[in-house]
Amino acid sequence: MNKNKAPLLFLITGITALLIAITFGVIATIQYVKFDFIKSVLPFNRIRPMHVTGALSWILLTAIGGIYYYLNKEGYIKKNIAAPLHFIIFFLTGLAIYTCYSLGILGGKEYLEFPPVLIIPILIGWAIFATTLISAFRKGFTKKPVYYWMWTTGAIFMIYHLSEAYLWLTPYFKEKFLANTVLQWKAGGSFVGSWNMLVYGTATYLMAKISPESGVGTDKKSFFFYFLGLSNLMFGWAHHVYIVPIAPWIRYFAYLISMTEWILLFNIIYTWKKSLAFNKTIENKTVIRFLSLTDKWVLINLFVALLISIPFINYYTHGTHVTVAHSMGTTIGINTTILLASVSYIIQKEIPAFNFKPVLKGVSLLNIFLILFLITLLIAGASRSAWMYSLNPEVFASMQYKLQGVYIALLIFGSLLATSILIITIPLLNSLIKAFRRK
């Protein structure tokens, strides 16, 4: 495998992981409606990590593949075996993880529910990636655009926080429940912050390449956003732990940083769109469409995040489908639209004659069904919260039965959302496979 093929393999595998994620997501929703659906073969406690791992793999593999591709185009990777070796390690580890899930062999925690030993090859893969980025970054780092800083920082902190996530195996944290709880939220929140660095760095790269004269990637606002994002990566996790007795100022500080970061991201994309020339909007129509959608969903998720981060509201919504709605809105509305923009940009470079019309039809459907899906999740979460804090709560099964109409709506809108993702990704996947075969 050569260095030019490896980035495409990351992208192909990333989209495949997305298809796996939506498949298990639909199956999980079916089990809410029909409780015994294939539970003897795949119970919910296996389907959930399969779904989550697929979604995380989509984000991470696609971000990594895009970055390797862009480093190649910028001339920073020459006869390099890092990307092929990295892919092989991650691919084999992914097979091992899904094999364990299928057999019911679990043993980890949130996001990382596979047996702990499998984190070792994952860390090796991230070390390879970070080394490649550092090697490219150190050549004239003072003049590097901000996306190099974001990518390199994201990779380095990914190693740190993935390692931190396994400190629960040590005797000290095993014996201290509160410390263990805070550590897991910290590691998980910073894990998200690390991949945001990779994804937001990719968005910045795309904007800079489509419109170099806009100053995105090199201006003061871009670097201010980088340092704000770095602060969020390091401290933003704390506003998720209202239920843990920690100093109030830590929560408020983290809450302020995380909200400010999204406001600035929205402003950067919005300002960039206004600077686009007409000929560039024609040439990069699909990429710009995805980034424009990102901008809208940043605003929507900012509103939801502002609400559920208010301590009084957070107390009632924490652990319900309201949190899931926020997570899904961020994962699909922001991360996924940026990554689809990246994949589309790469396909434009590899197959200039590719027809994006079917993809654009899917984008419109994605936007509609995602809104309906999230509204239904919010209704389910509010209903669950009302039951949890009722003075005279009915039995759980009775509450679940009364929510069947909501869960059926969730299944319908979730299936339609999955269909819209298929309409978008299948043509992109086929084109990436063709581009891979041509290399």
pLDDT at 68 over 90: yes
Split at pLDDT 50, 70, 90, the class of 277 is: low
Q: What is the mean pLDDT of residues 327-334?
A: 88
Task: Tell me how long the chain is.
Answer: 439
Under 8 Å between Cβ of 311 and 286: no
Percentage above 90 pLDDT, the chain: 45
Q: In which domain, by residue range, is 16 found?
A: 1-144
Nearest-5° angle of CA 342, CA 369, CA 263? 55
Residue 43 counted as domain residue: yes
- Specify the number of domains making up the chain: 1
Question: CB count, 10 Å around CB of 404?
Answer: 12
Does residue 117 fall inside a structural domain? yes
Q: What is the average pLDDT score of the chain?
A: 86
* Residues 123-155: tens digit of each pLDDT: 999 999 999 999 887 777 778 899 999 999 999
DSSP-assigned letter for residue 112? B
Report the C-alpha gap between 12 and 433 in whole angstroms: 7
In a domain, 362, yes or no: no
Task: Label residue 3 by pLDDT band (50, 70, 90).
Answer: low
How buried is residue 426: exposed, middle or buried, by Cβ count under 10 Å (0-12/13-18/19+)?
middle
Domain-embedded: residue 418 = no
The type of residue at 303 is F
Q: Is the residue at 169 inside a domain?
A: no
Distance separating alpha carbons of residues 334 and 265, to the nearest angstrom: 11
Three-state DSSP string of 257-298 = HHHHHHHHHHHHHHHHHHCCCHHHHHHCHHHHHHHHHHHHHH
Band (434; pLDDT cuts 50, 70, 90): very high
- With 90 as the cut, is the pLDDT of residue 201 above it? yes
Is residue 243 very low, low, confident or very high in pLDDT (cuts 50, 70, 90)?
Answer: low
Q: Is 6 inside a domain boundary?
A: yes
**pLDDT value of residue 282:** 67
Q: How far apart are CA 309 and CA 28, in angstroms?
A: 27
Residue 328 has a pLDDT of 85
Q: What is the pLDDT of residues 245-271, one digit of tens each?
A: 777 777 777 777 777 766 777 778 878
Any domain includes 119: yes
Phi, psi at residue 112, to the nearest 5°? Answer: -125, 65
Residue 258: inside a domain, yes or no? no
Distance CA 438, CA 305 (A): 44
